[in-house]
Structures are given as structure tokens and as C-alpha cells.
Amino acid sequence: MADGLNGHTALVTGGSRGIGAAICKALAEAGAAVAINCRERIDQANKLADELRKGGGHAMAIAADVSQRDAVSGMVERIGAELGPIDILVNNAGIAIVRGVDDLSEDDFDRTITVNLKSAFLCTQAVLPMMRARKWGRIVNISSGAARGAGSIGPHYNASKAGMEGLTRGYAARLVKDGITVNAVAPSLIETDMMSGQTQLVSRIPLGRFGTADEVAKAVMLLVDNPYMTGQTIAMSGGMAFN
């Protein structure tokens, strides 16, 4: 997809590291102008933006809490002014608070749903007018194998990711006539900071290794490139589960 996204502007939430950073790099390599969102790691996001610009791309870093409506509105307005109207959105921001059934609190549940699910709703609503104006848009939500399996983080996390896949299908059905596709990627056991020290989990994976952030980014790019796929979830589990 070299230079295939020239003239397009992408927003990647939680884009400063891990899977988000890999997606930012892939989008920039394909020619898109990329807005790298973070909540707190602005130095890391700025470093990535500098790297993308040095490689010939257009990029900016922007700090905003995407679980807050006003912060999202201000972020989208600033990106539009600096990079152009957003027509690619990757909802990647999320948290993983590990809790068991007996120590899961109401605050843990509410915070997880707000950051993981409500943020995707707020960002999607904010960019839809720009996508509709262009009659073209790509929304990719980063889900998890926990949306359909037991997972190791907790039922609050399962609920947030299952909700994200429901959100994906609901928007896909209603936006297809506007030229906007909405899909999800559901990775399991990807080699990121979150998996640090969890090497024992490799034994669960038939492929025999963790997935990589770059492999997740390739799945995202497949969905961005394909106008005929909408309402779908691509599962990436190294053979642990099949859709």
C-alpha cells in the first residue's frame, strides 16, 4: 500500500507505544498523515512523530484523554486544522486492570468501560461528520480475544472488549451507505509491555510464540485497504481459537 493513503489523515488513539505505535508507522509508510494520541506519554508520542517526519511522513503528537467528550472534541478540531479532516480512525486506547471476581470493584469496572469502550464511541462520533463529508472513512477498533474467551485480565475487561465488537457491528450496519467501513481486530497474547514477564503464556499458543505489534498493524492495514469488508472482526491468536 506504498503511498496509497496520500491525502488521508489518520488518528490513532493510544498511539505512543506498542500496538498503537506500530499502527502509526504502518499508516505513515502508506502515505497517511498521522495524529498520534496519548493521555500522558507525550514525550514518547513526540519522539514517534519526529521519527515519522524524518522518514518523510506527516505526523503530530497530541495529548488528550479520549474518555472525555470535551478533550476529544478539542483534539479532533486541532488535528483537522493541522493535518486535515480525519478519515481514518483507529480506536486503540485502552487499559488492562488485572482483577479477579472477588477483588473487582465498581470503580475498576466503570473506569475500564469508560476508557476502553466509551472512548471509541466518543472518537467515532467526533470524526463522522468529516468522513461523511468525504463519502469515505475507515474505522478500526482494537478489540481482544477476551471479547469471546475467558482471558486473564478480568470480566470487566471481557465486557469492554465485547462491547467494542458490538459497537463495531452497530456502526458498520448504519454507515455502510456513507462509504464508511467499521471493523475490528482482536489480538491475543501480543508481545508488548503488558506481556513483560509472562513467558509462561507461550505454552498456550499453538504457533509457539507471542504475536507482534507489527503483525497486528498489518491486519489493521488490510481493513483500511479493503472497501468491501465491514462489520468484521479479525481474530489474531496464533491458533488458540477460531472464529
Q: Which residues are catalytic?
A: 157
Three-class secondary structure of residue 156 per DSSP: helix
Residue from 225, 228, 218 nearest 25 by CA:
218
Q: For residues 116 and 179, what is the distance between their CA atoms, to the nearest angstrom? A: 26
CB 75 within 8 A of CB 66: yes
CB 185 within 8 A of CB 161: no
Q: For residues 182 and 238, what is the distance between their CA atoms, to the nearest angstrom? A: 24
Residue from 228, 153, 163, 140 nearest 188 by CA:
153
Q: Residue 185: beta bridge partners?
A: 142, 234
Residue from 33, 49, 125 nearest 81 by CA:
33
Residue 136 has φ and ψ, to the nearest 5°, of -160, 135
